Structure 1
Amino acid sequence: MDSKLGTKALKGVLMIAYHYPPVQVSSGLQRTLSFSRYLPDSGWQPLVLTACESAYPTISNDQLQDIPVSLNVQRAFSLDTARHFSFKGRYFNWMALPDRWISWLPFAVIAGLRMIRQERPSVIWSTYPLATAHLIGWVLHRLTGLPWIADFRDSMVDDVFPSPGIRRRVYQWVEKKAVESCDLAVFTTPGAVELYKQRYPHLFYDKWHIIPNGYNEEIFQEVEQQSVQPNEVGSPLILIHSGVLYPSERDPVAFFQAIAELKAKGQLSAQRLCIVLRATGHDELYSPLLKDAGIDDVVKLAPGMPYREALSEMIQADGLLIFQASSCNHQIPAKLYEYFRARRPILAFTDKQGDTAKALLEAGIKTVVALDDKDAIKAEFMHFIYALEEGTGSVVSKEKIDQYSRRSASKKLGELLDRICCEGK
């Protein structure tokens, strides 16, 4: 819903984000979309600068309804190097540095300058995971002198990403420019903040801030008001993983092996359990693995679906699964907070020392096991199944859920925007 505050009294913030409806991706786009909905409640009027539809590999109109009617959204021209400039699937590396949407840069800068001249925002905000978005923010910041918040979410560069080579060097250059030029740098987890404090020790500690991801209460309430079909008595338990399963960062191979051994011992069957991996983004890799392991009747690969349908599926599931490698200990999948709000039992395959595990433990969820430990997965998985069958699976309390609402996150961003304006006077 739109804010009740009059837009004429609000200060403006130019928000640069590649991921914005109608792009069809996992829960990552919800961060910018929610900020653009709720920032007016904190006295700020968003102006969204995003990419045109041709830049997106897939689109869906299901969340266009969530964009406030009064919102100024400018879609600058952009193409995808891999889809528009490749020949037989190949293209020169320099055409995709720092990423495949570098063509967005000149058109977005022109559109951004026009928006700044016409709307006179007080602050620029740009958001990763597209490095080009931070380049646009940096250029507009340099050209206009407006203060700039760089929303990194996760780290741009870590031990395994990007892989060694020119792309990694370009990412490091963009990251350094953004970190040293922006007025504030925002991340989603404590681990990411600590990583950057150590990486850039010469910068003031008050530059770094945390705004976690979250869930949208209004959309959850809307989904819950619709008819929800309970699972039939005697039907298999339904476990859901919703979203991309990266082969390196969320490798499910040890999980597949554990399921195969449990099935071979007669502890699991398609009559007892159905595991749905929704929109993995890598079905072509996982499909033969499931077939070779003989578990493609238990573990199902399913295509993406509209956002509200995905939330409904979470709510109706018997249990929810999270995968996160130890190399991503400073990250928390955005979907975790939607899992919290769905109030279904959660089983996490992740390092107990990482931020994902810490967020689960703080929320009262103790079903956490290492992603690559097959034997530990087997034991914890069966405990999880028994608890689901007995109705004793743990869920997050309402009191803990409330702190992760998107409205709460937008309020925190509003406070940072106010701080920048006060410091700039």
Structure 2
Amino acid sequence: MVRKVLMVAYHFPPLRGSSGIQRTLKFSSYLPDCGWEPIVLTAHPRAYESVSSDQMGDISPRVTVSRAFAFDTARHLAVFRRYPRLLALPDRWVSWLAGAIPAGLSLVRRHRPDVIWSTYPIATAHLIGWALHRLTGLPWVADMRDPMTDDDYPSDRLTRSVFRWIENLTVRSADAVICTTPGAVEDYRRRFPGVPATRFRLIENGYDEEVFSAVLPKQGTAAEDHRTDKRFTLLHSGIIYPSERDPSALFAALGKLRAEGMVNAGSFRLVLRATAHDDHLRPMLQANGIADLVDLAPPCPYREALGEMLNADGLLLLQAANCNRQVPAKLYEYLRARRPVLALTDPAGDTASTLLHAGAGTIARLDDADAIRVALIDFIKHAKSGSVPVLSEASAQAFSRRARTRELAAVLDACLRPNKLALSMELGDEKPLS
């Protein structure tokens, strides 16, 4: 018997510029193969700051998509770039709540889903999931991905208070809470000791093998053959958050290497693709004297971005220590691209752990310019010689989104078991799931 899941997700095509799109997009594409029919409840495209049609064709014809009323407070209600703060809590898309609840109830009446699933990092999505759960009595799975709050996140105290309220509501109300890293699961179990530990489940991010197969070089050719630029190219693909992925130390290290004659514009380039913060980065490049070493490249279609990864000499990750319980979604695409990875991150964090367990990548702290300088020279040397370890193609398959979707289907299946006490005991917890 085919079961149905109502998926509440802000990140969905035609939104452009976020790797978070892939999680919902691919779950919805592969769930039918696991016996689940997805109905996606997302936001009207007007709410998206940047749109592109390049992934609209990736939405499976087996997926029903409903786009509810929503707008972006910062763009649609601002006067001289100022807007009422209360109209942007918990986030700038809180208007989606007003459109999505009636739309969701209509979808429930029409399609009779068995489970509701909602996904962060837009906090409003979990408010919608909670409201539909309370109004319909359907089981609710909250895809938390990363922890919603930390001691200093969000940085604004009022926003942090609202996020903590939503986080508490979600953790205590949902039938299952899914995280993308072991550190996030551990963090939630520690912070909510009264909640059954089995409520927190791990489903990591991944990559899509079908899309990679479409952009991989034809057998018998090499990706490098298609490049006319023979400079060593180090690529960072995606958003660079000024705090969580601060490149200051990297830029300082490049400045030192430039002054020492170790790198120059004729032999090296760093491509920062779709940073979303180019205006913030340009003065930093100028201050370090490396503007001609770094290309601030615009967003491009998803498949083109994957092709660029396959052609790069090295792939760059940036992740600060305050994100130790997070792993950038692009890491799994980097691993599948099987190119050398330079990870500027805390060696004690989940990002470094994932790389170490995969046996791939070079690691240095994001905030240590001297360590980055040494690591970068070593990385370039070994990448050129082909001695940087990369994941085997067979090993990479474990990170595929098809495999992740089977894990999600198992969680959805568990929510439908009639005897939750028996399920809880089976999973090793003495308390019944509530």
TM-score band, normalised by shorter chain: over 0.9
Partner of residue 382, structure 1? 377
Please tell me whether residue 392 in structure 1 is matched to residue 392 in structure 2: no
Structure 1 residues 381 and 231: alpha-carbon distance in aligned structure 2, compared to 1, 3 A threshold: farther
Q: Deviations over 1:254-273 (max 9, x none)?
A: 00000000010000011111
Superposition deviation, residue 366 in structure 1 = 4.5
Partner of residue 126, structure 1? 118
Partner of residue 404, structure 1? 399
Identity over the aligned pairs, expressed in percent?
52
Superposition deviation, residue 416 in structure 1 = 0.6
Q: 1:268 aligns with which of 263, 266, 284?
A: 263
Structure 1: gaps spanning 5 or more residues: 1-8
| C-alpha contact 2:180 2:326 (8 A) present in aligned 1 | yes
Please tell me whether residue 346 in structure 1 is matched to residue 341 in structure 2: yes
| C-alpha contact 2:340 2:361 (8 A) present in aligned 1 | no
Partner of residue 94, structure 1? 86
Please tell me whether residue 195 in structure 1 is matched to residue 187 in structure 2: yes
Superposition deviation, residue 234 in structure 1 = 8.1
Larger displacement relative to structure 2 (182-191 or 165-174): 165-174
Q: 1:207 aligns with which of 180, 199, 203?
A: 199
Partner of residue 70, structure 2? 78
Helix, strand or coil at the partner of 1:274: strand
Superposition deviation, residue 292 in structure 1 = 2.0
Partner of residue 150, structure 1? 142
| C-alpha contact 1:321 1:346 (8 A) present in aligned 2 | yes
Superposition deviation, residue 423 in structure 1 = 3.9
TM-score by length of 2: 0.94
- Please give the root-mean-square deviation of Cα atoms over the aligned residues, in Å: 1.4
Larger displacement relative to structure 2 (308-317 or 390-399): 390-399
Q: Distance in 2 between matches of 1:344 and 1:137?
A: 39
Write the letter of the residue equivalent to 2:215: V
Superposition deviation, residue 27 in structure 1 = 1.1
Partner of residue 5, structure 1? none
Superposition deviation, residue 393 in structure 1 = 2.1
Superposition deviation, residue 70 in structure 1 = 3.1
Q: 1:289 aligns with which of 284, 288, 304?
A: 284
Q: Distance in 2 between matches of 1:314 and 1:91?
A: 39
Q: Distance in 1 between matches of 2:170 and 2:277?
A: 31
| C-alpha contact 1:149 1:184 (8 A) present in aligned 2 | yes
Q: Deviations over 1:286-343 (max 9, x none)?
A: 1111112111111111111110000000001010000000000000000000000001
Helix, strand or coil at the partner of 2:225: coil
Aligned residues, how many?
A: 417
Partner of residue 11, structure 2? 19
Q: 1:56 aligns with which of 48, 60, 64?
A: 48
Q: 1:311 aligns with which of 282, 299, 306?
A: 306
Superposition deviation, residue 394 in structure 1 = 1.7
Partner of residue 321, structure 2? 326
Please tell me whether residue 222 in structure 1 is matched to residue 217 in structure 2: no
Please tell me whether residue 359 in structure 1 is matched to residue 354 in structure 2: yes
Partner of residue 60, structure 2? 68
Q: 1:30 aligns with which of 8, 13, 22?
A: 22
Superposition deviation, residue 165 in structure 1 = 2.1
Structure 1 residues 234 and 49: alpha-carbon distance in aligned structure 2, compared to 1, 3 A threshold: closer
Write the letter of the residue equivalent to 2:407: K
Structure 1 residues 233 and 278: alpha-carbon distance in aligned structure 2, compared to 1, 3 A threshold: closer
Helix, strand or coil at the partner of 1:61: coil
TM-score by length of 1: 0.96
Q: Distance in 1 between matches of 2:96 and 2:320?
A: 32
Please tell me whether residue 244 in structure 1 is matched to residue 239 in structure 2: yes
Q: Distance in 1 between matches of 2:228 and 2:91?
A: 49
Q: 1:184 aligns with which of 176, 181, 185?
A: 176
Q: Deviations over 1:366-410 (max 9, x none)?
A: 410111111111111100011122222221122321111000000
| C-alpha contact 1:235 1:271 (8 A) present in aligned 2 | no
Q: Distance in 2 between matches of 1:242 and 1:68?
A: 25
Larger displacement relative to structure 2 (272-281 or 142-151): 272-281
Helix, strand or coil at the partner of 1:339: helix
| C-alpha contact 1:31 1:213 (8 A) present in aligned 2 | yes
Superposition deviation, residue 26 in structure 1 = 2.2
Structure 2: gaps spanning 5 or more residues: 421-434
Q: Deviations over 1:229-273 (max 9, x none)?
A: 625588211110000111110110000000000010000011111
Q: Distance in 2 between matches of 1:331 and 1:368?
A: 16
Q: Distance in 1 between matches of 2:229 and 2:415?
A: 58
Q: 2:151 aligns with which of 139, 153, 159?
A: 159
